[in-house]
Structure 1
Amino acid sequence: MTEKQTWSQRFESALHPAIARFNASISFDIELIEYDITGSQAHAKMLAHTGIISHAEGEALFTGLEQVRQEYRQGQFQPGIDAEDVHFAVEKRLTEIVGDVGKKLHTARSRNDQVGTDTRLYLRDQIQQIRQLLRDFQTVLVDIAEKNVETLIPGYTHLQRAQPLSLAHHLLAYFQMAQRDWERLEDVYSRVNISPLGCGALAGTTFPIDRQYTAKLLDFDHVYANSLDGVSDRDFAIEFLCAASIIMVHLSRLSEEVILWASEEFRFVTLKDSCATGSSIMPQKKNPDVPELVRGKTGRVFGHLQAMLVIMKGLPLAYNKDLQEDKEGIFDSVNTVKACLEAMTILLQEGLEFRYQRLATAVTEDFANATDVADYLAARGVPFREAYNIVGKVVKTSIAAGKLLKDLQLEEWQQIHPAFAADIYEAISPRQVVAARNSYGGTGFVQVRQAIINARTQLGVS
């Protein structure tokens, strides 16, 4: 049997070894150790501030906790399975350092409000790191866009050629997605940044604690107004996992496009050796591993969101051991999102080369300018729906004849409708097709240049 744990005299024996292993969380919640120490230091200060313990005892606890932190950083403190969780591990080592005064640290506190505090401190820090990675990702998108305002790329709907676009406009669509991600995380942060410390196990405490004092020490904006809610709430975790899932959706969509663009069928980009691998059997291949892995890892984050929802859906108030299962999903989602953002940023910055000649050719080899022919007629008084039907017939006969619209002679255009004149060729040239879409938010070069200015302004906002 294992050593008896820090329970009350209600228990006569220790846990069965297999149950002890099953019950323990130290293997993964060690991730929270520095946040646990920071929260405990604030709690110790509050105990001294309110007179629950003496100032000398408060200082001893604070200093001892800092020693635990340094020992951990230096690899001298590495708690094992006997510690059960990070909270007991820290408290046990603290007591070894400062003596019996260490046993006073847990006064007016439960592991329930303690772990809630630790998790929020951790997630608060990670959200800010992810937001910075989003900014790095956005910056690269804007840098590439700025160089490619007048580079054209086929635009698609239903994965069918639709209308040509400015490549910059296409990339800036992902900038806007990432901007929403950045803003969404800021909103999530506001609900992460609420302190449960002082809620106790579920009902508060009889000690004269000052919850606002610890909240201020830990830079929390507010404290939970209901102790039951404070220890059992994981809405903030669900919201974070939802925001993380949406980030992964955006990265996965871009990944899919890069995979398509790098294929022999599209040939819009070439993968550089620094961000691609080869085949173990086919020497000619260069595989888009980075976007494929991002696309694959997206499912992990989705799974953690689903798991968190399932964990919470049937829990009665207040704390239940089920909530131990929140951490691994949160930790893995944080690590996955950070790794994917970093990898995609590197891929864009130094792993891709756009094949400009291929792009230039691609926008001339289809009927993506058909809408502009209809717009041409509509601008000359032909009702748009009538113009739409006329152009549909033209496309049909052109395909049968093996021609593109640019190949039609002026006489053929005028046989179709007398409103056509020699300027039809300029109107349907890919560059003019793009430039003409000058409505706000459109792909026209004037609009795209302004969008880049606006994006730079957004990047300057902290």
Structure 2
Amino acid sequence: MALWAGRFKKEINANVNAFNSSISFDARMYKHDIMGSQAHAKMLAKQGIISRQNLTEILKGLNDILCELENGDLLFDPHAEDIHMFIEAELTKRYPESGKKLHTARSRNDQVALDLRLYTRDEIKDIQGMLMELMQVLINQAKGHTHTIMCGYTHLQRAQPITFAHHLMAYVEMFYRDYTRLDDCMKRLNVSPLGSGALATTTYPIDRHFVAQELHMNDIMYNSLDGVSDRDYAIELANDLAMIMMHLSRLSEEIILWCSWEFKYIELDDAYATGSSIMPQKKNPDIAELVRGKSARVINDVSTLLTMMKGLPLAYNKDMQEDKETLFDAIDQVKLCLPVFSDMINTMKVNKQRMQECAAKGFINATDCADYLVKKGKAFRDAYKTTGQLVAYCIDHDEVLETLPLDIYKSFDEVFEKDVYQAISLLTCVENRLVDGGPAPQTCQKAIKRMEKQLEALNHG
């Protein structure tokens, strides 16, 4: 019989019980449920609400349950309503009097709100560790390619010369922001709702701050209605995870392009690609494609949480049971993608020569040609027009700016001299972009060092 069955005259319908049950997915919070119950019991004993004997039995019982769940001697009861009821029922079997006193001054509403916060707190730390690993992998790749010239694109059209290191470091900046967003989420997440009760606290003289300190939480929630019904932190975390997946998806798209025959900028290690069942020549970037696909799933999780919450009156509503499966899915997908993605990036081979060849044929030094004319005294708009005409001439005559004869240059503008070839050299174009945030090798090396210091500060923060 359910622990709450006193009000009811008959057993709950079996189909309703299965429909109502959440243990199939909330069982993963068993450690956090036990952790919260231990802190609650200590507080009850400190306040004289339960005896020291009750506390001793509760703590021993909960520790035994934890150990048995960990080593497989105790299995979750699939017929239990949820993980909270399962653990309390199991404790009560072992210590009937003390077990029945554990739930004093507590509701499942504030209990589940606490458990989910404790669980997601641990998951954030794990995900941050994975983000740190990915950033280090990208930085290590970037260090070897500060002089590897490639095309920078806009509209997926060749635009201006950059380095491969500069391109990779753009993603490091994105993932760094993702890491710090999780830090920000943690500040709002790591507060204790326990003591809010069902919605209106309790008449017992509890010490909510003691429980928060026991659980290493920063503070308590100061409105009991908000304490049991707030899921902002879950939505915020899901959104942060969606941002991570969006960034992974963008990089996945580029990897998919780069390892195609049309680009051939990189080659994925055989361990991180698959073949075709019918076409023997194929080497498919399935990992990148799966990550790109899974990003849609995590983005949808944010929408699910927002839609679930948008029509709920205060305080707790059973709809909120849907928060866990959705948030757990977002967490699981990110944790599935990050490690394998790091390994894929770490083992890929970069085709420097191919990048250089593509950069040489894309007129990506046209802006530098226009800048050359500006430095000779021309107005930028006039220089822009002249350079555009030069590019059109090159296209019509199967030429490139680097090898176009000087007399042709002069036919468009007499100010052109032999120094134009140095000015439009791809290496010159990149090396002269020394502005902070630019692709010049020394600027990029400076950016790498800056980021390494920032990551070191996070590690020791």
TM-score by length of 1: 0.98
Measured in 1, the distance between the counterparts of 2:31 and 2:419 equals 70
The C-alpha deviation readout for 1:125-184, integer Å capped at 9, x for no partner, is: 111111111110000111010111001111100000001111100000000000100110
Look up the match of 1:203. 200
Measured in 2, the distance between the counterparts of 1:308 and 1:236 equals 11
Look up the match of 1:130. 127
Measured in 1, the distance between the counterparts of 2:123 and 2:78 equals 26
Q: Tell whether 2:457 aligns with 1:450.
A: no
Contact kept in structure 2, 1:21 and 1:81, CA below 8 Å: no
Q: Which runs of 4+ in 1 moved over 3 A?
A: none
Measured in 2, the distance between the counterparts of 1:182 and 1:68 equals 35
Q: Which amino acid aligns with 2:214?
A: L
Look up the match of 2:339. 342
Contact kept in structure 1, 2:390 and 2:409, CA below 8 Å: no
Offset of residue 439 of structure 1: 1.0
Q: Which amino acid aligns with 1:434?
A: V
> How does 1:103-114 map onto structure 2 within 5 Å?
103-114=100-111
Look up the match of 1:54. 51
Q: Tell whether 2:116 aligns with 1:119.
A: yes
The C-alpha deviation readout for 1:392-442, integer Å capped at 9, x for no partner, is: 111112211121111211111122212211111111111111111111101
Offset of residue 359 of structure 1: 1.3
Of 403, 410, 431, which residue of structure 2 is paired with 1:435?
A: 431
Q: Which amino acid aligns with 1:214?
A: V
**Alpha-carbon RMSD:** 0.9
Of 283, 295, 299, which residue of structure 2 is paired with 1:298?
A: 295
Moved more, 8-17 or 448-457: 8-17
Look up the match of 2:152. 155
Contact kept in structure 2, 1:277 and 1:287, CA below 8 Å: yes
Structure 1 unmatched ranges of 5 or more:
none
Three-state SS of the structure 1 residue aligned to 2:360 is: coil
Of 324, 349, 370, which residue of structure 2 is paired with 1:353?
A: 349
TM-score by length of 2: 0.98
> How does 1:58-457 map onto structure 2 within 5 Å?
58-350=55-347, 352-457=348-453
Q: Which amino acid aligns with 1:333?
A: A
Measured in 2, the distance between the counterparts of 1:22 and 1:68 equals 26
Q: Tell whether 2:32 aligns with 1:32.
A: no
Offset of residue 9 of structure 1: 2.5
Q: Which amino acid aligns with 1:294?
A: V
Give the fraction of aligned pairs with identical amino acids, expressed as a percent.
47
Contact kept in structure 2, 1:370 and 1:395, CA below 8 Å: yes
The C-alpha deviation readout for 1:208-259, integer Å capped at 9, x for no partner, is: 0000000000011010000000000000000000100000010000000000
Q: Which amino acid aligns with 1:32?
A: M
The C-alpha deviation readout for 1:40-89, integer Å capped at 9, x for no partner, is: 00000000010000122112111110111001001122122321100010
Moved more, 39-48 or 360-369: 360-369
Measured in 2, the distance between the counterparts of 1:74 and 1:223 equals 34
Measured in 2, the distance between the counterparts of 1:183 and 1:6 equals 42
Three-state SS of the structure 1 residue aligned to 2:91 is: helix
Q: Which amino acid aligns with 2:38?
A: Q
Measured in 2, the distance between the counterparts of 1:85 and 1:300 equals 26
Measured in 2, the distance between the counterparts of 1:7 and 1:231 equals 19
Measured in 2, the distance between the counterparts of 1:181 and 1:100 equals 48
Measured in 2, the distance between the counterparts of 1:340 and 1:426 equals 45
Contact kept in structure 1, 2:153 and 2:159, CA below 8 Å: yes
Q: Judging changes above 3 Å, is the alpha-carbon distance between structure 1 residues 255 and 183 closer, same or farther for their aligned structure 2 residues?
A: same
Q: Which amino acid aligns with 1:230?
A: G
Offset of residue 15 of structure 1: 0.9
Measured in 1, the distance between the counterparts of 2:78 and 2:123 equals 26
The number of equivalent residue pairs is 458
Offset of residue 8 of structure 1: 4.2
Look up the match of 2:456. 460
Offset of residue 99 of structure 1: 2.4
Look up the match of 2:38. 41
Contact kept in structure 2, 1:304 and 1:329, CA below 8 Å: yes
Measured in 2, the distance between the counterparts of 1:273 and 1:246 equals 29
Structure 2 unmatched ranges of 5 or more:
none
Q: Which amino acid aligns with 1:376?
A: Y
Measured in 2, the distance between the counterparts of 1:127 and 1:317 equals 28
Q: Which amino acid aligns with 1:390?
A: T
Three-state SS of the structure 1 residue aligned to 2:307 is: helix
Three-state SS of the structure 2 residue aligned to 1:153 is: strand
Measured in 2, the distance between the counterparts of 1:59 and 1:332 equals 37
